[in-house]
Amino acid sequence: MTILIYNNKEGNHLNQFQIFFIRAIIGAFLAVVITRMFYGSVHLAYVAGLAVIMLGLAYFAEYLRKRRNK
């Protein structure tokens, strides 16, 4: 019986721009949903501000995770 082990380190990796783009799209989508929930309408300034904050928090969480794993 052969057990195949997938090594994630040898697979396809996303570059930093692709990760930023995915995080920005998800952050913008969630910012629209959250702004819509609390204000009832979508204002561009609120969405942009909340999306920037969420993107910054995502990178801060990644920094903390990498620092803890060292």
Look at the chain and report how many structural domains it folds into: 1
Q: Which domain holds residue 63?
A: 16-69
pLDDT digits (tens, 9 = 90+) for 10-37: 556 788 899 999 999 999 999 999 999 9
pLDDT confidence tier of residue 53, bands split at 50, 70 and 90 = very high
Residue 6 within a domain: no
Residue 52 within a domain: yes
Q: Which of these, 62, 53, 61, lies nearest to 14 by C-alpha position?
A: 62
CA–CA distance, 35 with 70 (Å, rounded to integer)? 37
Q: DSSP states of 9-37 as a string?
A: GGS----HHHHHHHHHHHHHHHHHHHHHH
